[in-house]
Amino acid sequence: MSDDVEALRQFLTAAQAELASMREAHEAAMTRLQAENDQVLIASALRAEAMRLGAHNPDDVVRLMDRGDVVRGEDGQVTGASAALERVRRERGYLFAAQVVPGTASGSTIGAVAPRPGEAAPFDARKATDADYAARKWQLLAGK
């Protein structure tokens, strides 16, 4: 009987050691996957910001830049992307399109001045749809 108890103790000790090693392997894999996931999210945020800033090829901008200051916080938000891309834009402006200022000429195109709001066109009952005509009629009858 004592041999059976000793064999059971050895089996339990081996099982606990195996469980501990499996737990460590699982935690290492989870840490690695989390780091990979963070890098994918950071790259996506940088690519989106590069597109917003007018990058010719956002993927090249993301590959060439220093991502040291861009991190994903505990809340899941990527911080530092705007500042890092503005720095890249200052240092490597050739990767970005020149910003067009409205009303100025740049190359072969002229940036148009933003339109000013005008007055509403007069109501023409002959060209109005039935619904528009009925709505205007009720406005007139209501005194508005």
* Confidence at residue 123, expressed as pLDDT on a 0 to 100 scale: 82
Tens digits of per-residue pLDDT, 55-87? Answer: 888 888 888 888 888 888 888 888 888 899 899
CA neighbours within 13 Å on the CB side: how many for 6?
A: 3
User: Which tokens belong to 35?
Assistant: 């780091």
Question: Does 107 score more than 70 pLDDT?
Answer: no
Beta-strand runs (E) in the chain: 71-72, 78-79, 105-106, 109-110
Indicate the pLDDT class of residue 108, thresholds 50, 70 and 90. Answer: low
Bridge partners, 78 (sequence order) = 72
Indicate the pLDDT class of residue 27, thresholds 50, 70 and 90. Answer: very high
For the chain, the structural domain boundaries read 2-112
**Per this entry, what is the length of the chain?**
144
What is the pTM for the complete model shown? 0.56
Interior CA angle at 26 toward 14 and 39, to 5°? Answer: 160
